[in-house]
Structure 1
Amino acid sequence: MRPSPSEPFPRLLPYLLLIGGGIGLVAAFVLAVEKIALLKNPEYVPSCSINPVLSCGSIMSTSQAELFGFPNPLLGIAGFAVVTTTGAALLAGFPPKRWFWLGLQLGATAGIVFVHWLIYQSLYVIGALCPYCMIVWAVTIPVFLYVTLRNFGRSFARHHVIVLTLWYLAVLALITVRFWTYWSSLI
C-alpha cells in the first residue's frame, strides 16, 4: 500500500524507525549486559566508564537507573524492539491503522519524557554521563519528532530539520555548560 500523499516523510519514517530503533536496541542491550555484569561483580568497571564525566558505572549504581524497580535498559529493549519492528513492517508495506499510530505516539511520547528526565538526572543530580545512554537520547529525539510530525504536525513538517538541529544543540549546550570545568581542563 502506498503512503498517503499528505503524509510527511513517507520514505524517511520507515528507515528512521528501523535504523534508529536498531541503534537504540543495541545500546539498550549493551547497557543491560553491563548492568548484569555489575550486579554479578560490584567491582566491575563498565566499558563505558571512561573518565569522571563519561561514567556509566556512576549512573548504573543510582536509583534513577532502576526507576520502576528493574534496570531501565529493559524498557529500552522492549521499546526499541517495537520501533524497529514498526520500521521493518512499514518497509514491507504494512498499512497501519490510526490506533496503531496513536499507540506508537503514546510510546514515543513516554520515551521522550523519560529520556528528558534522565538527561536532567544525569546532568544535575548524578553529575555524570553514560555514552550508551546518550546514544539512546540521540535516537529517541528523532523517533518522537517524526512520529509526532506524521501524526499531528504536517503543517510544521517543513521545519523538521531546524527543530531537530535546535533540539540537539540545546542538549549539547546543556552538557557543555554543565561540565565546562572538566572539558576546559582537557585543553
Structure 2
Amino acid sequence: MATDVHPRSGRAPEQPRWLLVTTLLLSVVGLAISAYLTLAHYDTAIRLVCAENSTIDCASVTSSSYSELMGIPVPMLGLLFFAAITALTTPWAWRSASPLIRWVRLGSVIVGVLFVVYLVSAELLVLGKICLWCTAVHVITVALFGCVVADEYRRVGQTA
C-alpha cells in the first residue's frame, strides 16, 4: 500500500462521497443486525423473526454447534467486527493519512470475508440450513470488502 498523502495538508486524498456513505451505512446496519442476533443468543425469550421452511431455519443455525467459536458466540464476534469496521469507515478514518488505519481496515474485511466463507460452508454443507439474518450479515461483509478493495485499487491507481 503506497502512502498517498497530500504534501501540504498531510491528509489522504478525498474519497468519493458514495464510498463514505455506503461503507458507513453498511457498517451500521451490520452492527444493528449483529446486536439483534447477540441479544437473541443470550435471551431465549427473544425469538428471531425468520421465515422457516425445510431450508431456511434461523433457530437451527443460531443454536447449532457452529454458533460459537472457541466458546464465543458468533453474533458477538460479528458485533465486535462491525463495531470496529464502523469506526474504520467514519469520514475521519477515511480521511486519515495513516497507513495503519488502511491496513487494519483492509485486513478486517479480508478476515471478515474468510469467516463468511467458513460460516456459509457450515450452513450449507454441514447443517443444510440457512439463516436469513446471518445471510444479511454475510452480504454486508462481502459488500464492505468490495468497497474497501475498490478504494485501495483507486488509491493505487492515483499514485501510479
Identify whether the pair has TM-score above 0.5, normalized to the shorter chain: yes
Q: 1:30 aligns with which of 8, 12, 36?
A: 36
C-alpha distance after superposition, 1:74-121 (max 9, x if no partner): 111111112222333438x74241111001111111100001111111
Q: 2:24 aligns with which of 15, 18, 21?
A: 18
Instruction: Give the share of equivalent positions with the same residue, in percent.
Output: 26
- Could you tell me which runs of 5 or more consecutive residues in structure 1 were left unpaired when the two chains were aligned: 158-187
- Separation of aligned partners in 2, 1:89 and 1:68: 34
Aligned residues: 148
Moved segments of 4+, more than 6 Å: none
Given that 1:54 and 1:128 are in contact with CA atoms closer than 8 Å, whether structure 2 keeps it comes out as: yes
Q: 1:54 to 1:86 in 2, by over 3 A?
A: same
C-alpha distance after superposition, 1:121-153 (max 9, x if no partner): 1111111111110110111011111212222x2
**TM-score for both structures, normalised by structure 2:** 0.79
CA displacement at 1:33 relative to structure 2:
1.2
Aligned 1:87-166 pairs, distance under 5 A: 87-90=89-92, 94-151=95-152, 153-154=153-154
- Structure 2 residue matching 1:53: 3-state secondary structure: coil
Counterpart of 2:129 in structure 1: which amino acid? A
**TM-score for both structures, normalised by structure 1:** 0.69
- Could you tell me which runs of 5 or more consecutive residues in structure 2 were left unpaired when the two chains were aligned: 1-8
Given that 1:49 and 1:57 are in contact with CA atoms closer than 8 Å, whether structure 2 keeps it comes out as: no
- Separation of aligned partners in 2, 1:49 and 1:61: 16
Aligned counterpart, 1:63:
65
RMSD (Å), alpha carbons: 2.6
Q: 1:107 to 1:55 in 2, by over 3 A?
A: same
Given that 1:18 and 1:87 are in contact with CA atoms closer than 8 Å, whether structure 2 keeps it comes out as: yes
- Structure 2 residue matching 1:134: 3-state secondary structure: helix
Aligned counterpart, 1:85:
87
Q: 1:96 to 1:56 in 2, by over 3 A?
A: farther
Q: 1:61 to 1:27 in 2, by over 3 A?
A: same
